[in-house]
Amino acid sequence: MRNRKPWVGALALVLALVMTFGLVSAVLPQTVSGASLSELEKQLNALKDQKKEIDKEIKGLKGQLSDNLSDMQAIVKQKGTIDQEIFMLHEQTANLNEQIATYVLMIADKQEELDEANARLAELNIKNKQRIRAMEEDGAVSYWSVLFKANSFADLLDRLNMVEEIAASDQRRLKEMSAVSKQVEEAKIVLEKERTALEESKAELVESEKVLEERRAEADKLLAELISKGEEYQKLLDKAEDDAADLKSDIKDAQNAYNDKKEEQNASNNSGSSSGSAPSSSAKWIVPCKYKRVSSAYGWRIHPVYGYKKFHYGVDLAASSGTPIKATRAGTVTVAKYSSSAGYYVTLDHGDGFSSQYMHMTHYIVKKGQKVDAGQVIGYVGSTGASTGPHLHFSILYKGSHVNPAKYIKI
């Protein structure tokens, strides 16, 4: 099993990339028009380099997630084997318990049989003694009667034979009962030995199960650690992917800024003009929410959360939390999700090359693929994501490139 903490290094790299991004962004000029073409190109290349680093980190995190998943699968397989072994031990223990219960009954039966044999033997002993005593008391078979009451030698022999036969008969019966009692006692001893052996086997199974339970507890603990590690990897991966998505958007916007600056210089060289223009739209645009003030306009600014200069591709409309957000135009919901930077946000496609974005919502009430009308409520003003207070970040894009919303809505 791998014993490492790679997510620490991954987190350090992510933080380093954020700091690097801050340093690069800190040298950005305050306005696009104030930046030279070479500066914009350097900024664009710096963003691309950051994107490569984050992509490399994403690849590494995915590899770590894959390794972690393999470790988890191995532990789960190990736990499955242990669970099967414990189940089999339970089955064996149950079988031994049944056998032990059977032996207990058999021993009880033998004890009862032994008690009966011993009682019968004792009874025979008593009766033998009583018979001899009675015969002696009656004087019928006493040795004196045999010796002195015999009429003849033949009568003496007859009397002696009678006494011997009675005694021999009693002795035979006593001997037989004694043998039966001994056999029953021996059988009982054998059964008790076998039951003791079963009890010892059961104790061994219980000990084996204890060891397996300890192994399963260790596997459970390790699995929990792997799950926690996997969650850390996933958080880092989500953060890196969000940063990559943001960088991708920034690269695209930086590329557009570079292209615009290049076109602006070409236009200036050709006609003396120094300004470009946003694409025109004949559609009617409405203000997306009731706001108190414009807290941040379209253009370069010091980012309120990250603290470095960054181009703001939208307008921030400060409003009370929970203020309804309306679709600026009719369109189709193409995005309705959460981002670590944009919070809960929605993107609408208006079907003529234009699209609009609404960020930092408390929550949205539309779903991807849904058609909405102009003025329809799609969510509510909040402060989710990278935000310092309740406001709506509103953006307009034309063919995937940001344009100044102030050109289309009255603010």
Give the pLDDT confidence of 25-53 residue by residue, as tens digits.
Answer: 433 433 344 567 788 788 888 888 888 88
Q: Write the DSSP string, 137-166.
A: HHTSS-HHHHHHS-SSHHHHHHHHHHHHHH
- The per-residue pLDDT of the chain, averaged, comes to 77
Axis-axis angle for helices 37-138, 153-271 (nearest 10): 170
Q: What whole-number distance in Å separates Cα of residue 76 and Cα of residue 194?
A: 40
How many whole angstroms from its chain centre is CA 119?
68
Q: What whole-number distance in Å separates Cα of residue 374 and Cα of residue 287?
A: 10
Give the pLDDT confidence of 260-274 residue by residue, as tens digits.
Answer: 667 556 544 543 333
Number of H helices, E strands in the chain: 4, 12
Do the Cβ atoms of 302 and 309 come closer than 8 Å? yes
Give the pLDDT confidence of 273-325 residue by residue, as tens digits.
Answer: 333 356 788 889 999 999 999 998 888 776 565 555 677 889 999 999 999 99
pTM of this structure: 0.40
Do the Cβ atoms of 323 and 343 come closer than 8 Å? no
Residue 98's pLDDT is 84
In the chain, which residues have pLDDT < 70? 1-35, 117, 121, 124, 127-171, 173-174, 177, 180-181, 260-261, 263-278, 302-309
Axis-axis angle for helices 153-271, 6-26 (nearest 10): 10
Q: 121: Cβ–Cβ under 8 A, 6 or more apart, which residues?
A: 174, 177, 178, 181
